Amino acid sequence: MSILTSQTIDLVKMLPEEELVTVNALLKLLVRTWDEDFTKVTPSEKTKLDKIDKEMEEGVYFSEEEVFSEK
């Protein structure tokens, strides 16, 4: 991972959780603008991505602590 990528991740980690949806949308826009092939997904991948987008819009996502905790 590059230093710039690591710095970007550190900055994103500082944001309040409610801002992560906005950042996620911006990152998707930037990647799709930069790499037009990024949007070429299979029908099943599109279904999964649409489901994930809907869940995030509804506030259904897990924090980093929930994902990596050893409960």
Cα 24 from Cα 16, distance rounded (Å): 13
User: Is residue 28 classed exposed, middle or buried when 0-12, 13-18 and 19+ CB atoms within 10 A define those classes?
Assistant: middle
Q: How far apart are the first and last CA of the chain?
A: 29
Share of the chain above pLDDT 70, in %: 96
- What pLDDT is recorded for position 39? 62
Vertex 30 angle, CA 53 and 14, to 5°: 70
pLDDT at 58 over 70: yes
User: How much is the pTM?
Assistant: 0.44
Share of the chain above pLDDT 90, in %: 7
